């Protein structure tokens, strides 16, 4: 027989084989722990695994001696070996997880971003501020049970003026210098013709409760405060018991919706051929709270709309019997509302559509 | 109307009312007060002095060194005016005075001479040059008392209230009318004296004849031996306060009495008349007449002419004639007080663009009861201030109907309209303050409306009188009790839907002018047509009504591009205006990066970007499939433009704008589309339709085809859909290739099909059969070869 391998010698030198096996495995385990410390990656780990658990690994060699042992010692021997292998595997798998985690961390590190970089432009566009305000007012009135009526911008003298109690050669025509297309047709100077058309359609037999938004036109040179085209909303309520106090209460709600719940309004006598009595309505200046400042020209109030009780002549021409029906009407310019509300200094901004302007109302 | 408070105080006492209170009360109960300011913005330190010595300044040719006696001392004042002379009474601003415009007067040394004040011109006192034609210092009359307040002497110590009058209140174009109003507001007494006229033995012999309905009344008086000169200082000051330039005592009196009564007057040089007659007639078409502003006017048949029987002497109610104007040599005067048809005056003055103080009053209607009063008042004043003798008698023609205008208002109606709870005593008080006589029975008021208030004709007008004088702000705040259901129409809902969807997709809504340059009106439209033009355009840019919102949107794009905006994505709900109709159109415009990534690549914005937006909109609106058919359209890219169809109906177009069209505007790569909103509304499905979702997964197959280059992808997909209508879930082109590996005139196109059977899983052989059938159809219908 050749010189025995050291392990064999070891095994047989000591009489108590199983004891020796445990110590041997313990030594191997410490060796493995040392070896694993040097393992850098999965390759190294694979080699170390082969070295400590492979067919040629020491622990596998020790296993071969089991057949040489007495029958009664075999179970203890086998158990020691298996438990050793189990621990080795655990050590190696723990290392594998450590490497995987480290490699993933490495990979994620590569994916580091500058979170402050700009996002792509998925930003929404915007609804034009004038239409936004129109919708706000529409919603206020829909909530109070109004319908929204519309009509043509190319109107006739009859609907724009005559049926509104403004006959030809009436001085009130100066109040609304008109863009004519021909002798009869014109660009409407207000949305009042929609009210006339609506009343005629209703036929004089039922109450009317409407608002009429739309573009209107006047012969004006465009400057910071004048525009030949602007947007108007008019309102009309006709019923058997519609009062001027109803008008006042309604306009107070409009003013507060537009300018804030702490606003107050003030009615001043005025004149429109289609209403009698007629008033102009001021709202307390939001800038100074009514104390007087540059914005309100020291008056504490800013004019926002015109209104009144529908003139009987208009009711009659629209098929409503003034003996039975009475009503109120009002009209406001949306650009003016927007200018006051946001401090916009030039009415032309609304029609130029500089995106740097429009974007502010996204 | 500019109201001198000193003048107003003659008729109604303003004692105890601060000007600001007056202004506030008038604003809340009558008319808007536009301005309240002193006639002359100088507080103190302007006195009357006498120039007792005047010698040239030794070191300055243009200056004089004056000795001025201002009562308390003799001052040395250096003066630069040419007209300063010894013996003059002048206006002296003493050191410490602050003149109009903020100039503070100080003792100062001018070229070595110590000067203790300033001799003032009218302009330096703040009297605008439109009210005087004086060069140099203002010279007072010799009677001016040395050392007294110059502003008081000149009657410039006044406050002016400017009313922004509404056109119905013709009565407030007179001081009398304003006095009635203020008396009513404050419940004060009113005193308007009758004219005191002394006439001569000589009789007024003028014959007056009116041949036209355009003249409703004509009153004439004759005055003789008048001395033409300046009017008294107080009258001049009041005219200036009212915004009228003093001229001479005759003209000033006519203007003064017009301001006082609201009745315009005219003074003719009586000796310049060719006969002793006044004939008022309609002008003849084309007749020419020289008005006193030295303009030759061409008249029309509706104009009213005052003639002396031989030739025209005045354009009735508008302006007098040059030939019969009162001049410094005038001795005899024919004074006219007349009334004219308001509508005719308005037509004449607006046609000739000749708005005068007189036409303004006639247009709004003057009080016929004031005509005779005004004539007598003016005659009396001329008698005093031009030492004229007034001939006895008034010649007149008067067609005005007289008699009270009765308007009835019940307390019940008043409260029913106002929503108020006013009681009879309050209403009585208002009518009393207004000086409206009335009868009352069972709380029904029959008001006898005075002729000065021509605007009060109906019970609604009376409600206004009560409402405003009680203050509208005293009314309660209530809401209409009318029960009704509010809501949006389907069009209104659609518009809101469009706005929300498109802004959500990153587009900005624009609002552009409807009036544009007529020569470009059809630049971007599918069909040309006759534009709707203004008869008198505002300007070349605002001339005709647009036929597409795209027109304005391209300008918006150019404006923003010029301001370095990269991404320009716009929409507008505009109109196509034609003679027959106004159709709402949705305009879309895209140019520049969409969903821009900036620091990493962004796909270029092209036709398909905009098409994608349209398709997103289509789905959001729940509309059926759109078809795109290549077309050519002027100003558009000849190979990147399409008409859009839905259910076989043309609903709009999409395309790239031609480079030659956009480059001159500083733009490139602009994509636009227009959709007809009425069509979209009609195509909208009323509600969603539901179909159960197949529990079976679809099968995906790709096919690659070689087809002629001009075969549209949509046609291939349509053919596939018609072969396997129940099975084809979706088909998408995922690759298109032309180039070296493909024969010329052909393209390779790859389509991914998703097939499914709602009843079960499709077997592979069924799929193969379907695909084979599809390929066969593509080959047959489009000459496609499978690759």
Beta bridge partners of A213: A233
Judged by a CB distance cut-off of 8 A, whether residue A245 touches chain B is yes
From the options 3.30.56.10, 3.40.50.11740, 3.40.50.920, 3.90.1150.10, give the CATH code of B405-472: 3.30.56.10
pLDDT above 80 (res B647): yes
Judged by a CB distance cut-off of 8 A, whether residue A126 touches chain B is yes
Helix (H) or strand (E) holding A181: none
pLDDT band at B397 (very low <50, low <70, confident <90, very high): confident
Cα gap B339→A231, rounded to integer Å: 41
Give A302-331 as a DSSP string. EEEEEEEEEPHHHHHHTT--TTT-EEEEEE
Show which of residues 667-706 on chain B sit within 8 Å of chain A, judged by CB atoms: none
Q: B595 and A181: CB-CB below 8 Å?
A: no
Question: What pLDDT digit, counting tens, does each position of B655-667 carry?
Answer: 999 999 999 999 9
pLDDT band at B8 (very low <50, low <70, confident <90, very high): very high
Q: B503 and A124: CB-CB below 8 Å?
A: yes
Cα gap B463→B456, rounded to integer Å: 10
Judged by a CB distance cut-off of 8 A, whether residue A292 touches chain B is no
Cα gap B100→A63, rounded to integer Å: 122
Do A10 and A24 form a contact (C-beta atoms < 8 A)? yes
With H, G, I as helix, E, B as strand and everything else as coil, classify residue B442. coil
Q: What are phi and psi of B153, to 5 degrees?
A: -60, -40
Query: Tell me, what DSSP letter sits at residue B401?
Result: P
Judged by a CB distance cut-off of 8 A, whether residue B302 touches chain A is no
Q: A169 and B545: CB-CB below 8 Å?
A: no
- Residue in the block written with tokens 């009407």: A329
Q: What are phi and psi of B60, to 5 degrees?
A: -140, 115
Do B644 and B650 form a contact (C-beta atoms < 8 A)? yes
Selected residue of B509, B567, B573, B678 to mutate for chain A interface (largest A Cβ count, 10 A):
B509
Q: A354 and B542: CB-CB below 8 Å?
A: no
Query: Tell me, what DSSP letter sits at residue A228?
Result: S
Query: Tell me, what DSSP letter sits at residue A172?
Result: G
Do B7 and B160 form a contact (C-beta atoms < 8 A)? no
pLDDT band at B530 (very low <50, low <70, confident <90, very high): confident
Residues of A in contact with B559 (CB under 8 A): 352-354
Phi-psi region of B603 (alpha: psi -120 to 50; beta: other; left: phi over 0): beta
Do A335 and A230 form a contact (C-beta atoms < 8 A)? yes
Selected residue with higher pLDDT from B522 and B588? B588
Instruction: Report the sign of the C-alpha dihedral through residues B152, B154, B156, B158, in that order.
Output: positive
Selected residue of A115, A277, A278, A300 to mutate for chain B interface (largest B Cβ count, 10 A):
A277
- Residue in the block written with tokens 């393209």: B747
Q: Region B521-526: what's the mean pLDDT?
A: 88
Residue of B nearest to A222 (CA): B538
Question: Which of B464, B488, B542 lies nearest to residue A276, judging by beta carbons?
Answer: B464
Cα gap A137→A122, rounded to integer Å: 29
pLDDT band at B635 (very low <50, low <70, confident <90, very high): very high
- Residue of B224, B204, B574, B217 lying closest to B366 (CA atoms): B217
Residues of A in contact with B556 (CB under 8 A): 352-353
Cα gap B547→B530, rounded to integer Å: 10
Show which of residues 91-120 on chain A sit within 8 Å of chain B, judged by CB atoms: 117-118, 120
Question: Which of B27, B419, B515 lies nearest to residue A243, judging by beta carbons?
Answer: B419
Distances B4 to B21, B37, B301 between C-alpha atoms, Å: 15, 10, 40
pLDDT of residue A68: 80
Q: B486 and A142: CB-CB below 8 Å?
A: yes
Radius of gyration of chain A (CA): 47
Does the domain made of B46-153 have the CATH classification 2.40.50.140?
yes
The distance of Cα B689 from the centroid of its chain, to the nearest Å, equals 52
Cα gap B711→B637, rounded to integer Å: 19
Into which CATH architecture does domain B699-786 fall? 2-Layer Sandwich (3.30)
Judged by a CB distance cut-off of 8 A, whether residue B463 touches chain A is yes
ipTM reported for the complex, 2 dp: 0.88
Q: Residues with Cβ < 8 Å from A272, sequence gap 6 or more?
A: A172, A278, A306, A308
Q: Region B31-46: what's the mean pLDDT?
A: 91
Do A190 and A234 form a contact (C-beta atoms < 8 A)? yes
Q: B499 and A180: CB-CB below 8 Å?
A: no
Do B333 and B250 form a contact (C-beta atoms < 8 A)? yes
Judged by a CB distance cut-off of 8 A, whether residue A198 touches chain B is no
Do the domains B2-39+159-186 and B405-472 sit in the same CATH topology, yes or no? yes
CATH classification code of B2-39+159-186: 3.30.56.10
Q: A128 and B167: CB-CB below 8 Å?
A: no
- In our burial notation (b when 16+ CB lie closer than 10 A, e otherwise), range B295-319 reads eebebbebbbbbbbeeebbbbbbbb
pLDDT band at B569 (very low <50, low <70, confident <90, very high): very high
Q: Region B370-374: what's the mean pLDDT?
A: 94
Q: A141 and B565: CB-CB below 8 Å?
A: no
Residue A266: is it exposed, middle or buried by C-beta count within 10 angstroms (0-12/13-18/19+)? buried
Instruction: Report the sign of the C-alpha dihedral through residues B696, B702, B708, B713, in that order.
Output: positive
How big is the A-B interface in CB pairs under 8 Å?
Answer: 248
Give A263-301 as a DSSP string. --EEEEEEEETTEEEEEEEEEE-TTTTTS--TTTTTSSE
Question: Which of A142, A229, A278 lies nearest to residue B487, judging by beta carbons?
Answer: A142
Residues of A in contact with B434 (CB under 8 A): none
pLDDT of residue B650: 96
Question: Which of A175, A221, A354 lies nearest to residue B560, judging by beta carbons?
Answer: A354
Q: B343 and A172: CB-CB below 8 Å?
A: no
Local mean pLDDT, 10-residue blocks, chain A (362 residues) = 43 50 87 91 91 86 81 84 91 93 94 93 93 97 96 96 88 77 93 96 94 95 93 97 97 94 94 95 86 82 94 96 96 94 94 96 90
Judged by a CB distance cut-off of 8 A, whether residue B460 touches chain A is yes
d(CA A297, nearest CA chain B) in Å: 11
Q: A144 and B479: CB-CB below 8 Å?
A: yes
Beta bridge partners of B487: A147
Do B420 and B471 form a contact (C-beta atoms < 8 A)? no
Judged by a CB distance cut-off of 8 A, whether residue A249 touches chain B is yes
Q: What are phi and psi of B310, to 5 degrees?
A: -115, -45
Selected residue of B479, B510, B546 to mutate for chain A interface (largest A Cβ count, 10 A):
B479
Into which CATH architecture does domain B199-398 fall? 3-Layer(bba) Sandwich (3.50)
Selected residue of A113, A122, A125 to mutate for chain B interface (largest B Cβ count, 10 A):
A125
Cα gap B663→B251, rounded to integer Å: 65
Query: Tell me, what DSSP letter sits at residue A34?
Result: H
pLDDT of residue A5: 45
Residues of A in contact with B473 (CB under 8 A): 266-267
Average pLDDT, chain B: 92
Q: Region B204-216: what's the mean pLDDT?
A: 91
Question: What pLDDT digit, counting tens, does each position of B282-333 carry?
Answer: 999 999 999 988 999 999 988 999 999 899 999 999 999 998 999 999 999 9
Residue B505: is it exposed, middle or buried by C-beta count within 10 angstroms (0-12/13-18/19+)? buried
Looking only at Cα atoms, what is the longest distance across chain A?
Answer: 141
Residue of B nearest to A144 (CA): B486
Can you list the domains of chain A with their CATH numbers?
6-110 (no CATH), 129-361 (3.30.930.10)
Q: Residues with Cβ < 8 Å from A42, sequence gap 6 or more?
A: A96, A99
From the options 3.30.930.10, 3.40.50.970, 3.40.1190.20, 2.60.40.1260, give the CATH code of B490-683: 3.30.930.10
**What are the boundaries of each domain within chain B?**
2-39+159-186, 46-153, 199-398, 405-472, 490-683, 699-786
Question: What pLDDT digit, counting tens, does each position of A58-82 carry?
Answer: 888 888 877 888 888 888 888 888 8
Residues of B in contact with A122 (CB under 8 A): 506, 595
Question: What pLDDT digit, counting tens, does each position of B39-77 carry?
Answer: 998 888 899 999 888 888 888 888 888 888 988 888 888
d(CA A285, nearest CA chain B) in Å: 16
pLDDT of residue B361: 94
pLDDT of residue A360: 94
d(CA B658, nearest CA chain A) in Å: 23
pLDDT of residue B758: 77
Question: Which of B168, B480, B568 lies nearest to residue A209, judging by beta carbons?
Answer: B480
Neighbours of B347 (CB within 10 A): 17
pLDDT above 80 (res B526): yes
Residue of A nearest to B457 (CA): A276
pLDDT of residue B81: 85
Cα gap A349→B512, rounded to integer Å: 10
d(CA B343, nearest CA chain A) in Å: 5
Residue of B nearest to A227 (CA): B513
């Amino acid at each position: 027989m050749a010189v025995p391998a050291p392990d064999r010698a070891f095994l047989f030198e000591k009489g108590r084989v199983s004891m020796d096996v445990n110590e041997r495995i313990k030594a191997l385990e410490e060796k493995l722990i040392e070896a694993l410390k040097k393992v850098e990656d999965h390759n190294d780990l694979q080699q170390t695994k082969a070295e400590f658990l492979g067919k040629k690994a020491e622990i596998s060699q020790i296993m071969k001696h089991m057949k040489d042992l007495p029958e009664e010692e075999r179970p203890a021997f086998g158990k020691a070996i298996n438990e050793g292998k189990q621990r080795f595997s655990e050590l190696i798998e723990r290392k594998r997880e450590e490497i995987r985690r480290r490699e993933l961390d490495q990979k994620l590190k590569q994916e580091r971003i500058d979170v402050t970089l700009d996002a792509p432009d998925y930003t929404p566009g915007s609804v034009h501020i004038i239409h936004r305000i129109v919708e706000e007012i529409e919603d206020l009135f829909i909530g109070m049970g109004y319908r929204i009526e519309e009509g043509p911008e190319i109107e006739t003298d009859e609907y724009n003026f005559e049926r509104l109690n403004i006959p030809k050669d009436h001085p009130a025509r100066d109040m609304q210098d008109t863009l004519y297309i021909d002798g009869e047709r014109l660009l409407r100077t207000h949305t009042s013709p929609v009210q006339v058309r609506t009343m005629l359609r209703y036929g004089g037999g039922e109450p009317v409760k409407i608002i009429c938004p739309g573009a209107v036109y006047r012969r004006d040179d465009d400057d910071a405060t004048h525009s030949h085209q602007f947007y108007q909303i008019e309102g009309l309520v006709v019923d058997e018991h519609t009062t001027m106090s109803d008008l006042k209460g309604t306009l107070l709600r409009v003013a507060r919706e537009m300018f804030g719940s702490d606003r107050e309004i003030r009615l001043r006598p005025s004149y429109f051929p289609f209403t009698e009595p007629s008033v102009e309505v001021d709202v307390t200046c939001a800038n100074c709270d009514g104390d007087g400042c540059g914005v309100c020209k020291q008056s504490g109030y800013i004019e926002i709309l015109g209104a009144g009780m529908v003139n009987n002549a208009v009711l009659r021409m629209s098929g409503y019997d003034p003996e039975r029906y009475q009503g109120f009407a009002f009209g406001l310019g949306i650009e003016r509302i927007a200018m006051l509300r946001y401090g916009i200094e030039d009415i032309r901004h609304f029609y130029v559509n500089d995106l740097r302007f429009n974007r502010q109302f996204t | 109307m500019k109201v001198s408070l000193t003048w107003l105080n003659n008729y109604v006492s303003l004692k105890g009312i601060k000007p600001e209170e007056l202004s506030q009360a008038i604003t809340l109960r009558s008319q808007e007060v536009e301005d309240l300011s002193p006639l002359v913005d100088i507080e103190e330190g302007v006195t009357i002095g006498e120039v007792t010595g005047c010698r040239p300044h030794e070191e300055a040719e243009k200056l004089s060194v004056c000795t001025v006696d201002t009562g308390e001392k003799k001052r040395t004042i250096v003066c630069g005016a040419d007209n300063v002379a010894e013996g003059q009474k002048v206006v002296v601003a003493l050191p410490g005075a602050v003149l109009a415009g903020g100039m503070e007067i100080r003792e100062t040394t001018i070229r070595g001479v110590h000067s203790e004040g300033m001799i003032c011109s009218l302009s330096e006192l703040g009297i605008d040059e439109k009210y005087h034609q004086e060069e140099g210092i203002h010279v007072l009359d010799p009677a001016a008392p040395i050392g007294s307040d110059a502003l008081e002497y000149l009657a410039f110590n006044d406050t002016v209230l400017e009313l922004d009058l509404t056109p119905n209140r013709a009565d407030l174009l007179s001081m009398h009318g304003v006095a009635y109003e203020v008396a009513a507001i404050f419940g004060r007494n009113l005193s308007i004296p009758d004219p005191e006229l002394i006439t001569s033995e000589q009789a007024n012999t003028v014959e007056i004849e009116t041949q036209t309905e355009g003249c409703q009344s004509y009153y004439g008086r004759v005055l003789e031996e008048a001395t033409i000169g300046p009017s008294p200082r107080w009258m001049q000051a009041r005219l200036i306060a009212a915004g009228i330039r003093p001229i001479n005592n005759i003209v000033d009196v006519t203007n003064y009495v017009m301001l006082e009564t609201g009745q315009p007057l005219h003074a003719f040089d009586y000796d310049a008349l060719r006969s002793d007659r006044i004939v008022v007639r309609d002008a003849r078409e084309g007749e020419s007449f020289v008005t006193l502003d030295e303009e030759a006017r061409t008249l029309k048949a509706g104009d009213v002419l005052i003639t002396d029987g031989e030739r025209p002497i005045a354009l009735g109610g508008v302006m007098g004639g040059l030939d019969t104007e009162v001049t410094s040599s005038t001795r005899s005067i024919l004074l006219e007080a007349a009334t004219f048809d308001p509508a005719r005056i308005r037509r004449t003055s607006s046609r000739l663009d000749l708005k005068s103080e007189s036409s303004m009053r006639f247009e709004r209607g003057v009080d016929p009861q004031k005509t005779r009063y005004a004539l007598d008042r003016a005659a009396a004043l001329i008698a005093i201030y031009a030492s004229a003798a007034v001939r006895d008698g008034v010649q007149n023609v008067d067609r005005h109907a007289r008699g009270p205008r009765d308007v009835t208002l019940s307390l019940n109606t008043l409260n029913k309209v106002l929503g108020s709870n006013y009681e009879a005593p309050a209403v009585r008080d208002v009518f009393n303050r207004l000086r409206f006589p009335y009868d009352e029975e069972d709380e029904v008021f029959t008001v006898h409306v005075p002729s000065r208030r021509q605007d009060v004709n109906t019970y609604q007008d009376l409600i206004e009188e009560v409402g405003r004088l009680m203050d509208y702000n005293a009314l309660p705040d209530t809401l209409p009790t009318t029960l009704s259901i509010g809501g949006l129409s389907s069009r209104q809902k659609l518009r809101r839907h469009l706005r929300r969807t498109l802004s959500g997709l990153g587009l900005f809504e624009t609002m552009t002018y409807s009036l544009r340059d007529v020569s470009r009106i059809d630049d971007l439209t599918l069909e040309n047509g006759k534009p709707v033009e203004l008869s008198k355009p505002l300007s070349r840019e605002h001339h005709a009504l647009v036929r597409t919102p795209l027109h304005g949107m391209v300008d918006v794009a150019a404006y923003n591009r010029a301001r370095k905006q990269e991404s320009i994505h716009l929409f507008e709900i505009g109109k196509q205006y034609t003679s027959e109709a106004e159709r709402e159109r949705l305009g879309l415009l895209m140019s520049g990066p969409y969903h821009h990534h900036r620091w990493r690549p962004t796909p270029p914005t092209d036709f398909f970007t905009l098409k994608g937006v349209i398709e997103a909109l289509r789905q959001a609106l729940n509309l059926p499939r759109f078809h795109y058919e290549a077309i050519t359209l002027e100003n558009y890219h000849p190979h990147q433009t399409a008409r859009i169809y839905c259910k076989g109906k043309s609903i709009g177009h999409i395309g790239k704008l031609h480079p030659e069209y956009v480059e001159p505007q500083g733009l490139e790569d602009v994509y636009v589309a227009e959709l007809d909103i009425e069509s979209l509304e009609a195509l909208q499905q009323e509600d969603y339709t539901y179909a159960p979702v197949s529990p079976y997964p679809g099968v995906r197959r790709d096919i690659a085809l070689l087809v002629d280059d001009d075969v549209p992808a949509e046609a291939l997909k349509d053919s596939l859909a018609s072969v396997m209508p129940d099975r084809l879930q979706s088909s998408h082109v995922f690759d298109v290739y032309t180039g070296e590996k493909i024969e010329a005139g052909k393209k390779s196109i790859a389509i991914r099909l998703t097939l499914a059977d709602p009843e079960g899983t499709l077997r592979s052989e069924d799929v193969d059969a379907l695909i084979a059938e599809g390929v066969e159809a593509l080959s047959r219908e489009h000459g496609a070869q499978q690759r």
